[in-house]
Structure formats: C-alpha cells, structure tokens
Amino acid sequence: MCGIVGVVSNKNVNEKLFNGLSNLEYRGYDSVGMCFINGGKFSIKKGVGKLEEVHKKVNFLKLNGNIGLGHCRWSTHGGVTEKNAHPHVDCKNKISVVHNGIIENYSELKDELTKKGHKFYSQTDTEVIAHLIEENLEGNKVEEALRAALKKVEGSYALGILFADEPGKLFAARNESPLIIGLGKNENFIASDVPSILSYTNKIVYLEDKEIAVLTNDGFDVFDLNGKEKRKKVHTIHWSKESSQKSGYKHFMLKEIYEQPRAIADTLNERIVNNSIIFEKEFALSDDFLKKIKRIVIVACGTSWHAALVGEFMFEELAKIPTEVEYASEFRYRHALLDKNTLVIAISQSGETADTIAALKEAKKYGVKTLSICNVIGSSITRISHDIIYTRAGPEIGVASTKAFTTQLAVLYLLTILLSKIRKTLNEKQIKDMIEGIRKIPLQLQSVLDEDDEILECAELYYNKLNSLYLGRGINFPIALEGALKLKEVSYIHAEGYPAAEMKHGPIALIDKNMPVVVIAPHDIYTYKKVLGNIEEVKARGGIIIAIATVGDKEVKKRAKHVIYIPKNLYTLSSILAIVPLQLLAYHIADKLGRDVDRPRSLAKSVTVE
C-alpha cells in the first residue's frame, strides 16, 4: 500500500530513485511522483497512472539532484487525481512529504490548520503532515517541528520528508507502516522494502514505531519522538541482486512460480538433521512447552490464511493438536479465548500486513506465546512475536503470492514433524517417511513445472470463460480456495473454491457447459473415491472438468476433460504439488487476457492498512 523511496548522496540520485520506485510499483500504481531539491527549491513531477505512463508524459529522468524522494500511490483518502498524488507540500512550498499509511485524525487536524490559515490542495490525509510540520516550524529547528507534529498525529505512517532549506538531509519516520534505512557508500536510502534498494545495498536498518531518522550522505541518526537518540542494529541481507529482477521471465509471477523448487530446497536446507527438525535460534520454544500446548490458533490473511488451513489439517491429523484458523482481521476485534497453553502462530509473507500485526498484538495481551512464520527478515511481525521461523522464498515481488505460499506449507510441514516427534504422536518410521517425502518435493515440483505446456493449452481453451469453480477436499480444500484466489486476482475472472461435497448445497446450480470446474483429486485413502463421485456430478451437468490427479491415475482420466498430473508422494504433501498447476493456470489465463499480471488492479503486495 503505497511505496516510498528516498536517496541522499554526494552525486545525482535521479536514476537510483527511478529504479527504486519501479521496484516498488507492486505496492501501488494509481499515481506516482518524485521530488528533488535544487538551489533551495523543490522540483516536483507527478501524475496519474503507472510509473511508465507518467514517465512518458513528464520524463522523471530530467529531474536532477543529490537528494530526492519518490512515491507510488495506492489511494485511501482522496480519488486518483494528480492533485492527490504525492509528494505533498506545505503552504510555502518548503516541506515535501511522501506517506504510506492512514492518518486517522486527519480531518480534525485539517480543520484546525485551515482555521489557522493553511491552504490545502488535495483531499489526502498526507497533506496535513506537511502543514502540521510547517505550523510547528515557527521558531523551532526542523527536527523539533517534526517531533512536535508527529506527536499530534494518530494512525499509521511511513514518511519520507524533505525540507527545501536542508538540502543535505533526508528525514524519515514510521509508525505501524514499514520503512527501512539502507546504508550505501557516500549515499543512504529509505524505502518501503528491501528488494527495492537491493541493487545498491544490503546493509539495512529497521525503523521501529515512533522513530524518526535523519540521513545524510555519510551517516544516519535515529531518535524517538522526545528527541532521545536510539542505537540501531545494522542487518546484512543475504538476498542476491538478481532475486529482485525478472531475469528474462515475462513477469515476476512466472519467475516466482518457477523458483519454487529452489525456494523449497532453501527452506529445508540444514533444518533436517538425522530425522530431526532443527530450526534456527529465532525459534526457541522448549520441548517442554511444545509437549504441553493444548491448542494452536493461527492468524493470517489471504493466501497466508490458506496456508494456515493446510497447517490446521497437518497439526490435527498428525501432531494431534486442536487447531483453529482465524482471519487476522476478525481475530483482532473479538475477544478470543486464549490461555497459557495456547500457541498463537501468525503467518505472513511480508511481515507487514496491518491486520496480522494487530492480531499478534491482541494475542500477546493474553500472555500467550506467539510464533511467526514469515518471509521477510526483520519485518514488523518478526519483531513483535516471541519466536520466528523464516520461510526462505527470497523476495516475492509479484503481487499474487506463489513461492511464499509453498514455502509456508513446507515450514508448516516441518513444524508438524517436530511437534509429532516431541509429542510422540508418530513413530520413528512415520517420521522418517515424512522426511523422505519432503526431501523429494523440489525435484517433484520441477516435474510439475515441466507440464506447463499442457496447462497453457487449458488456458488457451478457457481464458474467455466468465466463471469457474475449484473443488478439493481435506488438505486440498484450501488448495481449491487458493487456486480460485489466484485466478480471481490476476485475471479478474470470478472463481470460487469449495469443499467438493459441499458443492451440492448450492454451487452445483451454476454448473453448465460454460463452467470450467477445476478438481483437485490426488490419490489418497481419505476421500479420493468421493471426489470421483463429485467429478461425475459435475460431468452430468456438462461442466468442463480440469483435474489435478496423481501420476498413473486412470479413474480421473476416464471422467475429466483434462488431467494435469502430479507425482506420487504422501497425502500431506499433495497440496504443495497441486497448487503449482493452479498458479500456472491463473498466470496463463491472465496473460492471455492481457492483464497486468504483476500489478493487478486495486491490489497491493503488502496490505499495510486495515
């Protein structure tokens, strides 16, 4: 939700700012703007549309300066207009602000400031910040004015601020919206995320809530809102520069789907030692505690919530721990019944989803242990929760989550093995089989990817259908939900995921010869035969059946119009294999329809507002 980048250097920062902004576009693409300081004045260009479109009109690369800010917008307050595009300035055009978040008391502040004579040009909540700083500048240093202003602000913000009269200083502040500092050589950065500046530095400082940073080209200082200096740790991020580039793929989504064998292999790396699971030091929950827990509650949003449903199945089926999955946005506003024997797990790719952060904070009020499963090192969620297991998917840039999802499933699977072993719900042979099963996954995923041509054929046949249904059962019901979500978000085709048998209670009425029905039907001892029955029911109504089946399966083939095969493995691992063809199907359909796959309309990669 909105991307921010800023650079202060001893040379022209124009290209770095432009590149940083183009890497951040997945966060918002309603409008875009840039600001530089030249000779004590701002040069600002902005416009409505994506970076490339606006750049064609205004030529951002004509702007010059050793200090600058860039912003791409995902609108919350105020329509998508040039006036509402960031940066926003004060009355004297001396303070320039870019913002990600929501200022909750902006209306009161705006009224107060208007009464004092401030003139507003936009409908945004952001503009109040520029005027509020201006109001506090009278007789004060800029740092003091900034602190005084932020003390009055309620809500979430990641801010980049320039003062025309302070051309060597880049100011930043955060509260509940992500913002990092990147340390370069004779230049320093602020950004909404690490990948956007990874080509320039991997030395990162994470700002905490209610901290203000002042960056120059040769250093930085961080203060709290009372002006007290804070000591900050510099983290080295071990993501490669290439990982944040498309590397020849048409879209990030496709690249990230193809990266899954590697991402899973990385996620497993050094965590399986002699039939035991060993997570890193960020995971310090004792065996004693893990033996004692009576219940697990998982909070998450979107795709991560679907991963949580797979986790629920595994924890209950194998580790025998009662588990509930909650939408983080719901959990945060209800009084859940939690006690010391409950473990609360938050799952999040970005670690910055506002609702998931709030749900974790809510859980902590009950004094329960919290564990986060997260992809982004040092992100907010990892700093809030007691324990962490990192998925090692590498940066995920495409808005539709793909490799983050399968690595979340891999982590949940490893955690299930650990819990089952400690709680002795599985014997050594079963543990060994589980470990052998997951070890096969990277290679097996490669063989699923090798079926891409057949999946493309299906996409070519059905990309013009207006609706579709996704059916699965057991551990693959969440995969039906996730397959449908992928199609919806990147192609804008209506799709619904259902437990296959539940179809009879309503959705079956929708099935006719125009309805593609994707059925996940791996061979298993649980519901396979029932799913065959469900396929018959769809067929009897003329539905177009695209099935995901286990290699060698003949029964599904007899009934379905198209079959995509996944390799044989344990039932609990069928979900990791089954989602990949569905990701590819969604991708190819969206691409055939000419959608902007990596930047689907109205979506943003991390939802940092509630």
Catalytic amino acids? 2, 605
Q: Is 607 in the site for ligand F6R (CB under 6 A)?
A: yes
Least distance in Å: CB of 458 to ligand F6R? 20
Q: Select 76 or 425, whichever has its Cβ closest to ligand F6R.
A: 76
Instruction: Give the binding range for ligand F6R (CB under 6 A) out of 4-12, 94-102, 346-354, 530-538.
Output: 346-354
Q: Indicate the residue among 3 and 302 with the shorter CB distance to ligand F6R.
A: 302
- Which residue in 329, 353, 406, 468 binds ligand F6R (CB under 6 A)? 353
In whole angstroms, the minimum distance from the beta carbon of 490 to ligand F6R comes to: 8
Q: Which is nearer to ligand F6R, 177 or 401 (CB)?
A: 401
Provide, rounded to whole angstroms, the least separation between the CB of residue 80 and ligand F6R.
Answer: 21
Please give the torsion angle defined by the CA atoms of residues 352, 357, 358 and 363, in that order, rounded to the nearest 10 degrees: 170
By beta-carbon proximity to ligand F6R, the closer residue of 126 and 608 is: 608
Give how far Cα 191 sits from Cα of 6, 32, 66, 179, 532, Å.
6, 15, 17, 6, 51
Q: What is the DSSP letter of 289?
A: H
**Residue 364: which of 389, 394, 388, 332 has the closest Cα?**
332
Q: Per CB under 6 A, which of residues 92..131 are in contact with ligand F6R?
A: none
SS3 405: helix
C-alpha closest to that of 322 among 296, 343, 341, 346: 296
Select 89 or 194, whichever has its Cβ closest to ligand F6R: 194
Separation between Cα atoms, residue 174 and residue 197, nearest integer Å: 18
- Nearest CB to ligand F6R, comparing residues 267 and 350: 350
Candidate list 401, 476, 491, 574; residue touching ligand F6R; CB under 6 A: 401
What DSSP state is assigned to residue 151? H
Tokens 């399968």, residue? Answer: 406
CA–CA dist 377, 380 (Å, integer): 9
Q: What angle in degrees, to the nearest 10, is found between the helix axes of 260-268 and 403-422?
A: 30
CA atoms within 13 A on the CB side of 494: 4
- CB 384 within 8 Å of CB 360: yes
The contacts of residue 263 (CB under 8 Å, 6+ apart) are 391, 392, 393, 394, 403, 406, 407
Comparison of 152 and 494: residue with beta carbon closer to ligand F6R: 494
- Kindly tell me which residue out of 31, 100, 177, 349 binds ligand F6R, with binding defined by CB under 6 A: 349
Residues 355-374 that bind ligand F6R (CB under 6 A): 356
Among 190, 204, 299, 400, binds ligand F6R (CB under 6 A): 400
Residues 188, 20 contacting (CB under 8 angstroms): no
Task: Supply the minimum distance, in Å, between the C-beta of residue 306 and ligand F6R.
Answer: 8
User: Which one, 302 or 442, has the nearer CB to ligand F6R?
Assistant: 302
Q: How far, in whole angstroms, is CA 449 from its chain's centroid?
A: 23
* Amino acid present at 209: D
Q: Which residue number is nearest to ligand F6R in terms of Cβ?
A: 302
Cα separation of the two ends of the chain: 10
In one-letter notation, the amino acid at residue 19 is N
Query: Pairing relation of β-strands 219-224 and 229-230?
Result: antiparallel
Is 606 an interacting residue with respect to ligand F6R (CB under 6 A)?
Answer: yes
CB of 3 to ligand F6R, least distance (A): 15
Whole-Å CA distances, 531 to 112, 219, 380, 475, 537: 63, 62, 41, 13, 10
Are 73 and 31 in contact by the 8 Å Cβ rule? The answer is yes
352, two tokens: 């910055």
The minimum distance between CB 195 and ligand F6R, in angstroms, equals 14
Stretch that binds ligand F6R, among 146-154, 243-251, 261-269, 348-356 (CB under 6 A): 348-356
The span from the CA of 555 to the CA of 574, in Å, is: 18
The least CB distance from residue 356 to ligand F6R, in Å, is 5
Report the site for ligand F6R in 273-332 (rule: CB under 6 A): 301-304
Question: Do 223 and 211 contact (CB within 8 A), yes or no?
Answer: yes
Q: Which residue from 355, 357, 600 is spatially nearest to 493, judged by alpha carbons?
A: 600
The stretch near ligand F6R (CB under 6 A) out of 89-97, 260-268, 343-351, 552-560 is 343-351
CB of 288 to ligand F6R, least distance (A): 30
The answer to whether residue 175 forms part of the interface with ligand F6R (CB under 6 A) is no
Percent of the chain that is helix, strand, coil (3-state, to 5): 40, 25, 35
Our CB check for ligand F6R shows the closer of 196 and 356 to be 356
| Residues of this chain, 142-171, that bind ligand F6R according to CB under 6 A | none
Of residues 472-531, those binding ligand F6R (CB under 6 A):
485, 489
Element (H, E) at 517: strand 516-521
Q: Please, what is the minimum distance in Å from the beta carbon of residue 486 to ligand F6R?
A: 7
Q: Which stretch binds ligand F6R (CB under 6 A): 31-39, 102-110, 309-317, 344-352?
A: 344-352
| Helix intervals (H) in 104-199 | 106-115, 127-137, 142-152
Using CB under 6 A, which of 177, 350, 550, 569 touches ligand F6R? 350
Min separation Cβ 607 and ligand F6R, Å: 5
Looking at the Cβ atoms of 578 and 607, the one nearer to ligand F6R is 607
Stretch that binds ligand F6R, among 23-31, 236-244, 350-358, 543-551 (CB under 6 A): 350-358
Q: Would you say 124 and 84 are in contact if contact means Cβ atoms under 8 Å apart?
A: yes
Per CB under 6 A, residues contacting ligand F6R are 301-304, 348-350, 353, 356, 400-401, 485, 489, 606-607
